[in-house]
């Protein structure tokens, strides 16, 4: 990827630095240097006009300013609709606008990736995990930096997985397995075989680890994303399953067949706006369609494919149950059974959430699929 630069004038002198963005956003064209004298109202106005603010004041004050700008953004009246699909797309537009405004507050880094601001924490390890190494001065958004810090804390602390009796440590840009219901479905559903299993799109490696923990002798876990590949390998090694789980870089299926093939694809057929969202949004149901289309030829006779999928897309008006069943049938598959569970995450009860109407009806299912005779 070609290196992009951000340029600005400060004290009458032209400056430049490497631009870094986890979402792939272009460097801002208009930049104004700002410090602790900047008011939230002025910052909000400038951001809405497309002027980015390169912060030179106190780091904690920058965080407070960002919170104040976010509050002003959230107070703007939201467009609503009684049609679920329209309401979802309006919600995504609101999210995009919010991200764009908050992305106008910029933070500088020296060549050693320290932040040259008063009371700035040591973020070098978090920045290294998020962006990789560099020996040049850089600039990123405060929003991206706070995301990198939060992700680094998640990685260090890990997520407790009761089905494993251990923690999974999500790497930067790899979706954290905080929704335990889908893990529990894989942990509790009777296995068709203990010989071999494929875990398609392994992410953190959590489902591959659960299968190994249940006694599956050989698991092949597939993934394309470089961060996820490294994350899964580190987790499986840490848990002691590296000798039974092979992590393979490939799109969807590995070579061969297995008596069990497991996949937890992104649940919502919509376009992601950042790398981490690829774990949630699946444009045109690409991964779901690919998994179903290739499943039969990768199943051993009498084998089972486990599709773990929420029905939230149905409640959002983005996919119907009939469309899902048609995809299954067209792929030469039959439904052997289905196990359902009600999500337990906090947003189910959060009436302020824009998608609350869909979330309160959501059901997560493990579809047991077999090849048609």
Q: Which of 124, 154, 184 is at the close of a domain?
A: 154
* In a shared domain, residues 99 and 169: no
Mean pLDDT confidence for 291-303: 97
* In a shared domain, residues 168 and 268: yes
* In a shared domain, residues 52 and 95: yes
* In a shared domain, residues 241 and 357: yes
* In a shared domain, residues 143 and 206: no
Q: What's the CA gap between 204 and 343, in Å, rounded? A: 20
* In a shared domain, residues 317 and 244: yes
Domain that holds residue 183: 158-371
Q: pLDDT higher for 188 or 92?
A: 188
Mean pLDDT confidence for 90-114: 93
Tens of pLDDT along 20-31?
998 888 999 999
Q: Which of 93, 121, 154 is at the close of a domain?
A: 154
Q: pLDDT higher for 80 or 106?
A: 106
* In a shared domain, residues 58 and 202: no
* In a shared domain, residues 227 and 309: yes
* In a shared domain, residues 150 and 163: no
In sequence order, which residues have a C-beta less than 8 Å from that of residue 321 and are 6 or more positions away? Answer: 311, 314
CB atoms within 10 A of CB 78: 12
Q: What's the CA gap between 340 and 302, in Å, rounded? A: 22
- The CATH number given to whatever domain includes residue 202 is 3.40.50.150
The total domain count for the chain is: 2
* In a shared domain, residues 78 and 219: no
pLDDT higher than 60, residue 85 = yes
Question: What integer pLDDT is reported at residue 76 of this predicted model?
Answer: 78
| Residue 121 CA: distances (Å) to CA of 113, 142, 144, 246 | 11, 13, 15, 38
Tens of pLDDT along 301-347?
999 999 999 999 999 999 999 999 999 999 999 999 999 998 876 66
Tell me if 196 sits within 8 A of 217, measured CB to CB. yes
Tens of pLDDT along 31-72?
999 999 999 999 999 999 999 999 999 999 999 999 999 999
pLDDT higher than 70, residue 157 = yes
Tens of pLDDT along 226-279?
989 999 999 999 999 999 999 999 999 999 999 999 999 998 888 887 777 878
* In a shared domain, residues 132 and 166: no
* In a shared domain, residues 21 and 130: yes
In this prediction, what percent of the chain has a pLDDT beyond 90?
75
Question: What integer pLDDT is reported at residue 77 of this predicted model?
Answer: 66
Q: What's the CA gap between 240 and 204, in Å, rounded? A: 15
DSSP 172-191: TTS-----HHHHHHHHHSPP
Q: Which of 154, 173, 208 is at the close of a domain?
A: 154
């Amino acid at each position: 990827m070609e290196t992009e630069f951000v340029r600005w004038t400060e004290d009458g002198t032209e400056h430049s630095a490497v631009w870094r963005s986890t979402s792939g956003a272009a460097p801002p064209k208009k930049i104004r240097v700002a410090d602790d004298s900047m008011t939230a109202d002025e910052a909000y106005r400038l951001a809405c006009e497309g002027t980015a603010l390169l912060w030179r004041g106190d780091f904690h004050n920058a965080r407070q300013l960002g919170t104040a700008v976010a509050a002003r953004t959230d107070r703007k009246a939201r467009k609503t609709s009684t049609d679920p699909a329209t309401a979802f797309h309006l919600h995504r537009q609101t999210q995009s606008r919010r991200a764009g405004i908050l992305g106008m507050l910029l933070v500088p880094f020296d060549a050693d990736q320290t932040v040259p601001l008063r009371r700035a924490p040591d973020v070098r390890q978090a920045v290294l995990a998020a962006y990789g190494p560099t020996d040049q001065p850089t600039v990123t958004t405060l929003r991206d930096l706070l995301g990198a810090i939060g992700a680094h804390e998640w990685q260090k602390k890990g997520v407790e997985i009761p089905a494993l009796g251990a923690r999974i440590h999500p790497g930067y840009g790899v979706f954290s397995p905080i929704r335990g219901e889908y893990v529990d479905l894989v942990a509790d559903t009777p296995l068709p075989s203990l010989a071999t299993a494929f875990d398609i799109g392994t992410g953190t490696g959590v489902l591959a680890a659960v299968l190994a923990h249940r006694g599956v002798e050989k698991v092949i876990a597939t993934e394309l994303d470089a961060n996820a590949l490294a994350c899964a390998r580190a987790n499986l090694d840490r848990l002691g399953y590296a000798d039974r789980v092979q992590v393979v870089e490939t799109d969807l299926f590995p070579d061969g067949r297995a008596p069990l093939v497991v996949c937890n694809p992104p649940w919502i057929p919509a376009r992601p706006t950042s790398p981490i969202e690829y774990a949630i949004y699946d444009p045109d149901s690409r991964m779901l369609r690919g998994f179903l289309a290739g499943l039969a030829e990768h199943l051993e006779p009498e084998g089972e494919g486990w599709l773990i999928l929420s029905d939230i897309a149905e409640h959002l008006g983005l996919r119907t149950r009939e469309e899902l069943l048609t995809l299954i049938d067209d792929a030469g598959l039959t439904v052997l059974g289905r196990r359902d569970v009600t999500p337990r995450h906090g947003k189910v009860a959060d009436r302020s959430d824009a998608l609350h109407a869909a979330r309160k009806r959501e059901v997560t299912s493990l579809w047991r699929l077999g090849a048609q005779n």
